[in-house]
């Protein structure tokens, strides 16, 4: 007994037609709507029994034997029980495909009939094929079954489907579809792993709406995959940020640039593994979270933020189940960047006793997944309190590298201020950035942004334009976190000095 668990029923039925033709077997399909129907029946074959075992149905998509001239219905077989009785007592050698049998498999009569047909296979030569989106066999039947997975289109096949849809668009409209090469490649990567019919439909939708393949089409595919997978503890977004949107972090940016083509599949060499991810340590507001968005945006892949708070559940085992579900969803959305923000709050060692060991089990599940998963998932984990991190997470091999994101230098502070001024349609050349950088010693990137925001609010109240003097007054009235929490920041810097790679 073969079990094919798939949403691509037409593809599975075409496969059965091909097997029946090659092996010269009778082919029957059963459904609760049509009963048992022989698909390759034909009169006038020259055979004494009045039918031929050579199907006349083609292999074109969607053609699965709906031609009345090649079919013969078996009366009184609309129920699965009656169909199995016919197969068991009267049917000949061949393939018998049962469509959506799942609701009837708990019936003890159906279970017994299935067993009898399977156990009699060596003598009668009747092969049962169960096809459904979900198949869960009773234990008594599972030992007699073999599961068959239909091949999901790989990147090469998705490219073939794209070419087919582009040719179809050109033929129907007389115009060639257009699109940025980077966006097209990102779209194709997201389509890998989807059933072929879904790939065709999404490609056709992307091309036919305006003749362009754009970022909106990529976002539509990501939303479709998210809806298909259902709710989870993952928040999904398509970041538009690039390296120029974050100041400093020169060493981290270069490290990411060298690994981008390997992760995206543009280049590789034998024995070179996919990049796993990075751990970013640093003070709050230093730009760690921004770096995660920049990675996803510059690599043109979805950003998956793991909502740790959304994992915890009061019922035993539910927290771990939600984590496994979220990680399976992440694999289905690959290639992607998985962002685990403030990871120490989820996996802190000090909470393992107070929460009944849930955080310890979460850590075990996450570490196992990080070691075994093969999808194109790049993990960016951020942490503020290194003392709370379990040592298992920091050992070599968990992440490709551990970077320390320190407070920005004077030159980087000037760069960050210029970025935030431009983002608000202000000309950085109109400001004395050197003076502002000197006045904001020990400010984090987030605090520099809030400096600009606070100055704009004051200007809105006064009806004046923002200038250097206003920003200097705001800076003089602010105490950065590095001064308020000086001891903790100093301890973090001392710890990272010998253990981490500087991000800048």
Residue 336: in which H helix or E strand, if any? strand 336-340
Q: In this predicted structure, what is the pLDDT of residue 40?
A: 76
The secondary structure element, H or E, covering residue 180 is none
Predicted confidence at residue 65, as pLDDT, reads 45
Burial of residue 490 (number of CB atoms within 10 Å: 0-12, 13-18, 19+): exposed
Which of 225, 431, 429 is closest to 334 using CA atoms?
225
* H or E segment and range at residue 447: helix 445-462
User: What's the CA dihedral at 424, 425, 429, 430 to 10 degrees?
Assistant: -90
| Number of Cβ within a 10 Å radius of residue 177 | 20
Nearest to 247 by CA among 375, 414, 496: 414
Q: What is the pLDDT of residues 103-150, one digit of tens each?
A: 999 899 999 999 999 999 888 889 999 999 888 898 889 888 898 877
Q: How far apart are CA 487 and CA 479, in angstroms?
A: 15
- pTM exceeds 0.75 for this model: no
pLDDT in tens, 168-225: 999 888 888 888 888 888 888 888 767 888 888 899 988 987 888 888 888 888 778 7
* Burial class of residue 82 (count of CB atoms within 10 Å of its CB; 0-12, 13-18, 19+): middle
Distance in angstroms (rounded) separating the CA atoms of residues 502 and 504: 5
Measured in degrees and rounded to the nearest 5, phi and psi for residue 337 equal -105, 125
Which positions of the chain have pLDDT values less than 70? 41-70, 193, 228-232, 309-310, 312-316, 346-356
Q: How far is Cα 71 from Cα 88, in angstroms, rounded to an integer?
A: 21
Residues 6+ positions from 494 with CB-CB distance below 8 Å: none
Query: What's the pLDDT at 44?
Result: 41
């Amino acid at each position: 007994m073969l079990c094919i668990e798939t949403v691509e029923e037409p593809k599975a039925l075409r496969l059965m037609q091909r097997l029946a033709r090659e092996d010269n077997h009778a082919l029957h399909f059963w459904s609760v709507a049509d009963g048992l129907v022989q698909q390759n029946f034909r009169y006038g074959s020259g055979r004494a029994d009045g039918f031929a075992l050579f199907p006349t149905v083609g292999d074109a998509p969607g053609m699965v034997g709906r031609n009345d001239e090649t079919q013969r219905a078996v009366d009184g077989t609309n129920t699965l029980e009656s169909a199995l009785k016919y197969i068991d007592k009267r049917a000949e050698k061949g393939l018998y495909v049962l469509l959506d049998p799942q609701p009837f498999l708990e019936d003890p009569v159906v279970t017994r009939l299935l067993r009898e047909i399977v156990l009699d296979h060596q003598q009668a030569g009747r092969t049962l094929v169960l096809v459904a989106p979900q198949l869960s066999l009773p234990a008594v039947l599972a030992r007699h079954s073999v599961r068959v997975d239909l091949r999901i289109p790989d990147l090469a096949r998705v490219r073939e489907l794209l070419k087919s849809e582009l040719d179809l668009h050109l033929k129907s409209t007389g115009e060639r579809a257009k699109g940025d090469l980077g966006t097209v490649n990102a779209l194709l990567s997201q389509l890998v792993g989807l059933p072929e019919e879904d790939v065709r439909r999404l490609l056709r939708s992307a091309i036919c709406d305006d003749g362009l393949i754009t970022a909106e089409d990529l976002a539509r595919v990501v939303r479709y995959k998210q809806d298909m997978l259902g709710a989870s503890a993952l928040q999904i977004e398509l970041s538009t940020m690039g390296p120029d949107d974050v100041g400093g972090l020169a060493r981290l940016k270069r490290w990411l640039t060298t690994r981008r083509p390997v992760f995206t599949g543009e280049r590789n060499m034998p024995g070179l593994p996919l990049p796993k991810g990075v751990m970013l340590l640093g003070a709050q507001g230093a730009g760690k979270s921004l770096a995660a968005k920049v990675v996803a945006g510059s690599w043109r892949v979805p950003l998956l933020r793991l909502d740790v708070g959304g994992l915890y559940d009061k019922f035993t085992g539910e927290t771990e189940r939600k984590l496994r579900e979220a990680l399976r969803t992440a694999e289905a959305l690959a290639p992607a960047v998985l962002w685990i923000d403030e990871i120490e709050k989820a996996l802190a060692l000090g909470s393992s006793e107070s929460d009944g060991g849930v955080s310890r089990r979460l850590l075990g599940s996450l570490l196992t997944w990080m070691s075994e998963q093969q999808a194109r998932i790049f993990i960016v984990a951020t942490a503020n309190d290194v003392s709370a991190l379990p040592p298992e997470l920091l050992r070599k091999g968990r992440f490709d590298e551990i970077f320390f994101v320190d407070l920005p230098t004077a030159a980087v502070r000037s760069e960050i201020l210029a970025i935030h001024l431009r983002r608000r349609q202000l000309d950085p050349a109109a400001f004395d950035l050197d003076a502002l950088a000197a006045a904001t010693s020990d400010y984090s990137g987030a605090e520099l942004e809030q400096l600009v925001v606070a100055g704009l609010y004051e200007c809105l109240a006064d009806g004046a334009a923002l200038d250097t003097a206003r920003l200097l007054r705001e800076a003089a009235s602010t105490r950065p976190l590095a001064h308020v929490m000086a001891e903790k920041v100093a301890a973090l810097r001392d710890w990272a000095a010998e253990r981490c790679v500087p991000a800048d």
